[in-house]
A and B are shown apart, each in its own frame.
Chain A
């Protein structure tokens, strides 16, 4: 239990579960299901279409949600696009880039999640784009010295794209976004940032990038809702998925698109999720500093208590996760046996196969959040050691 635990109803209902898969999805803040339920039973209507009072209520909540996000992240409301999550945001970004440029050189971080890597990999296979990988330093950060040299040597006529994670979901290190922004500015590069492991966990300056994507379910919010923050220079670009709500005027031979983010939000939005955002953002902002302090304290605790002779940490992260390579046993066995003890962790390729494959067939990732305490971590580490011993005995017996 931490001072935050009571805000998360999951733990009152599941007191035995030790949930350490927060980099995949966090548990939800109590206001979120309450607001969703109220929307569904009292206010359900569509946004931006209807003149009746239910429609007006939804419109107000929708714009209130954008206003909260805009104030929090220091961006304009016009730049905020609601979508289904980070994956959609990154795929749309790749498509916008492909629509504007026929040929680019795209630098993608070697620590990228598949959601970031695959849209650009596909571009490179299907059209005139080339993908190059920014490798990782021994400290687990993007090798920005290499990138700087590389950008300095590239033909000035070539359009550059830099697509990187703010924080890798495997390594947990915070990449230097300021330096990336400055390099991009110097070389007129387009920037795409996967911020799904950063926003809501650390104060983040995401201004000045072309595309920044994140998901709400990773920061105590609803499933199926994300945001793409679109750079001012891209607000007049053609929408990736045109449809109802994205236009001002349509005739049989002419279309006038919405100004701002509206043109990218066609169709009915995930409104029961959007209406939960104002209270969620308010809660995060109120507790941001405490959450960060808690997160860092746990990161230090994990680093000092991890039995690294049995489980080699891939990096000692700055944020709420650690990925471990066991020196014996398959990671899948650890997952099953931890689950049998009510401990939920992520194992396998972590949706970052190119990076994880450098460290064997898979990793065990423990990731924590504001409701995780030291006892949760100790229980997980002790159980990992028990399983290690059990698997080691079996391996010896089999040999």
Chain B
């Protein structure tokens, strides 16, 4: 799903791709970036909401926004069985893990937890 990103060698190019990815498609609008939708425990504020069966997110950090959007898009496209077993290990399988330091992994773990709570 993210082959284009994984094929990039340069770290700056990777981050630029992630920023661009975050700007594609639908983002959570500012009006819904409220405490009730805040994913706790992220270094940079990240909001997540569900519209029918689709999740939408937004982060102030453009890179966090892109990474979160990639995860949320993957989750949106996953079937029920895959959603149930979706965790940090899944991110390794889809190639995102190297982008996540320990600090970022904590934030992502909270995002995954919140996705499952809202499912």
Q: What is A's interface to B at a CB cutoff of 8 Å?
A: 329-333, 336-337, 339-341, 348, 361-362, 391, 394, 397-398
User: B45 in the interface, Cβ–Cβ < 8 Å?
Assistant: yes
Note all chain A residues with C-beta closer than 8 A to B59. Answer: 330
How many inter-chain contacts with C-beta < 8 Å in the A-B complex? 44
Say yes or no: B63 contacts A340, CB within 8 Å: no
Q: A394-B23, A397-B23 are in contact. Are A330 and B12 (CB under 8 A)?
A: no
- Can you name the residue of chain B whose Cβ is closest to the Cβ of A349? B43
- Can you name the residue of chain B whose Cβ is closest to the Cβ of A347? B43
Say yes or no: B23 contacts A336, CB within 8 Å: no
- Can you name the residue of chain A whose Cβ is closest to the Cβ of B99? A336
Q: How far is the CB of B21 from chain A (nearest CB, A)?
A: 12
Say yes or no: B15 contacts A330, CB within 8 Å: no
What CA separation (Å) do A330 and B64 show in the bound complex? 10
Chain B residue total in the interface (Cβ 8 A): 16
Q: How far is the CB of A216 from chain B (nearest CB, A)?
A: 23
Flag B66-78 by CB within 8 Å of A: 1 or 0 each.
Answer: 0000000000000
Q: A337-B15, A348-B43 are in contact. Are A361 and B23 (CB under 8 A)?
A: no
User: B97 in the interface, Cβ–Cβ < 8 Å?
Assistant: no
Which residue of A331, A332, A398 contacts B23 across the interface (Cβ within 8 Å)?
A398
A-B pairs with beta carbons under 8 Å apart, 17 shown: A329-B62, A330-B60, A331-B61, A332-B61, A332-B63, A333-B19, A333-B62, A333-B64, A336-B63, A339-B11, A341-B12, A361-B60, A362-B44, A394-B19, A394-B23, A394-B62, A397-B23
What CA separation (Å) do A341 and B45 show in the bound complex? 25
- Can you name the residue of chain A whose Cβ is closest to the Cβ of B10? A340
What CA separation (Å) do A330 and B61 show in the bound complex? 5
Note all chain A residues with C-beta closer than 8 A to B10. Answer: 340
What CA separation (Å) do A348 and B19 show in the bound complex? 19
29-82 of chain B: CB within 8 A of chain A: 43-45, 59-64
The 9 closest A-B pairs by CB, nearest first: A340-B11, A330-B61, A332-B61, A340-B12, A332-B44, A330-B60, A336-B63, A333-B61, A333-B63
Chain A contact surface mostly: helix
Note all chain A residues with C-beta closer than 8 A to B11. Answer: 339-341
What CA separation (Å) do A332 and B67 show in the bound complex? 12
Note all chain A residues with C-beta closer than 8 A to B23. Answer: 394, 397-398
What CA separation (Å) do A336 and B60 show in the bound complex? 14
- Can you name the residue of chain B whose Cβ is closest to the Cβ of A397? B23
Which residue of B15, B43, B60, B62 contacts A340 across the interface (Cβ within 8 Å)?
B15
Beyond A332-B44, A332-B63, 14 extra complex contacts between A and B, CB < 8 Å: A330-B44, A330-B61, A330-B62, A331-B61, A333-B61, A333-B63, A341-B11, A341-B12, A348-B43, A361-B44, A361-B45, A362-B43, A394-B62, A397-B23
Q: How far is the CB of B113 from chain A (nearest CB, A)?
A: 20
What CA separation (Å) do A391 and B14 show in the bound complex? 15
Q: How far is the CB of B98 from chain A (nearest CB, A)?
A: 13
Q: How far is the CB of A351 from chain B (nearest CB, A)?
A: 12
What CA separation (Å) do A398 and B14 show in the bound complex? 19
- Can you name the residue of chain B whose Cβ is closest to the Cβ of A340? B11
Note all chain A residues with C-beta closer than 8 A to B62. Answer: 329-330, 333, 391, 394
Note all chain B residues with C-beta closer than 8 A to A341. Answer: 11-12
